[in-house]
Structures are given as C-alpha cells and as structure tokens.
Structure 1
C-alpha cells in the first residue's frame, strides 16, 4: 500500500509539474498625470485598486482541454468589470453558479461588490502556450462603501 501511494504521488507530481500556474497580486498606482503603474501588493487600504493576475502555461506535449480557471474576489472588495481580461468571463455570487456579467436579479444588475469569483471557459490550451487572466478589485471603505 505504501509503495502504491508513493507511486501515485510521483505520477501526480510529474503530471502537474508540466502545467505551470501562478497567481500574483499588484497594487495599481496612478500618478498625477494619470500614468498607471503596478507594484507587488504587500498590503491594501480602503480605496486601493488591486489587480490579480493568474498565469497558466501548458508545458506538456498535449493540448489541455476544457479548462475553467477562476480568480476569487475577496470579501470586502468590489469587482471592476471593465478591467477583467480576457473578455467572455463568467461571474458568481455564490462560487457555485456562473453567469455572464452582469448577473440580474429581478431585472436589476447585482452590485459589483457581491461577486465572489470570476471564471473563464478555455476550450483548449495548446502545448507551449500560456494565458494571463486578470481582474481588478477596489478595496471597500473610505468612500461610503
């Protein structure tokens, strides 16, 4: 049994070692001239804009199919939909059911602060190819939120 478990762990590590993923967060700073720069986020305060970047690379020799990567929207933040890339994303308020943005409840769009997850349906990621998925959120508070 122990040998089987070790073999399983080696196989799983080998398989996933060829698909590289990385999630990074950046604070978006805008200077007086409106020039935007991004620095690694060490902390955040109310009103700050944070960008989350999810990177995935297919380092295998076969295409990856039917991928559904997602980026969580932290509680206490508001999604900035116009800064979500690439287009064609889905959103969720319960982290289970996904719909195109915006979700409507009784014909009224859900407040952007209610979204908890952004996801994409990626049909195929060819060998040697990679994707960058981005969302931006604003930290609530300090401006009436």
Structure 2
C-alpha cells in the first residue's frame, strides 16, 4: 500500500532590516503532454519530486556582502543532484560544513539520502537585487 505523506507547504517569510527572505516548496508533476508542472506541495507520495525556492530581496540602500544561505534537505528525502541553481552550490552531510558536490568518503560518493543541506556563497547582493536559489529532493521510498 502506497503511503501518502501529507506535507505542509513550507512558506517562511522573514524580514531583516530591509532584506526580505522567503522559502517555498512546490511539487513537480508531468502533465499529459509530458511537460513539467509545479503544483502546491500539499500532498506527496514516495518518489515525488519537490522543489524548494529560497528568495533573498535586498531592499537596503547598500550592498550586502558575503552571504551564505542554505536550504536544508528534509528528513525522508534525497537530494536530486545537479538541480540546484545557481550551479555553484555546495552540499553538506553534517549540516555544518559545505563542500562542492559530490562529497566522497573513502573515495566513494555518499548516498544522495546522506545530504543534509545545500548552500551557496554569495559575494554580494546589490541594492534592489533579488536572488532566487533552488534545489530539488525526491521523497524516499518510491521507484
């Protein structure tokens, strides 16, 4: 029996001074024509792909330097490699230290379910500039 996992749409919005952030999630599905559509991630089943988007909007009058935003990989999911954008992303298997993908242990790449986070090093975000960071995960237990 296929277990249906109910996911609450994660929409986190915060404001730091005049810097606004937002984290949202969508489920990716194929329509009849084979095109990928994004729908709210209210219900998901093993094998489904979820896309997380983290937006940072600099509404300050000055450049913000040396940002290190991260998106956690939720428990029960596996990172879908090479879907993170921008593509200069880093990954973590301990939630603290970030390295270029893939991380290897004893010369072997770690399993995709071992990744705990995706992060980026952003040199600067200019006034009025908005940055969108994305990554995809697959719910474990599917095909």
TM-score with structure 1 setting the length: 0.85
Deviations 1:65-116 (A, max 9, x none): 0000010001110101121111111100110111100001111111111101
Q: Which is greater in Rg?
A: 1
Corresponding position of 1:43: 43
Distance, in Å, in 2 between the alignment partners of 1:68 and 1:25 is 20
Kindly indicate whether residue 104 of structure 2 is the aligned counterpart of residue 104 of structure 1: yes
More strand per residue: 1 or 2?
2
- Deviation of the 1:53 alpha carbon: 0.3
Where do 5+ consecutive residues of structure 1 fail to align?
Answer: 1-14
Structure 1: 4+ residue segments shifted above 4 A: none
Which stretch of the first structure deviates more once superposed, 18-27 or 34-43?
34-43
- Deviation of the 1:42 alpha carbon: 1.0
**Contact 2:91 2:117 (C-alpha < 8 Å) held by counterparts:** yes
Aligned length: 129
Alignment root-mean-square deviation, CA: 1.2
Where do 5+ consecutive residues of structure 2 fail to align?
Answer: 1-14
Superposed counterparts of 1:1-145, under 5 Å: 16-143=16-143
- What SS does structure 1 have at the residue aligned with 2:43? coil
More helix per residue: 1 or 2?
1
- What SS does structure 1 have at the residue aligned with 2:113? helix
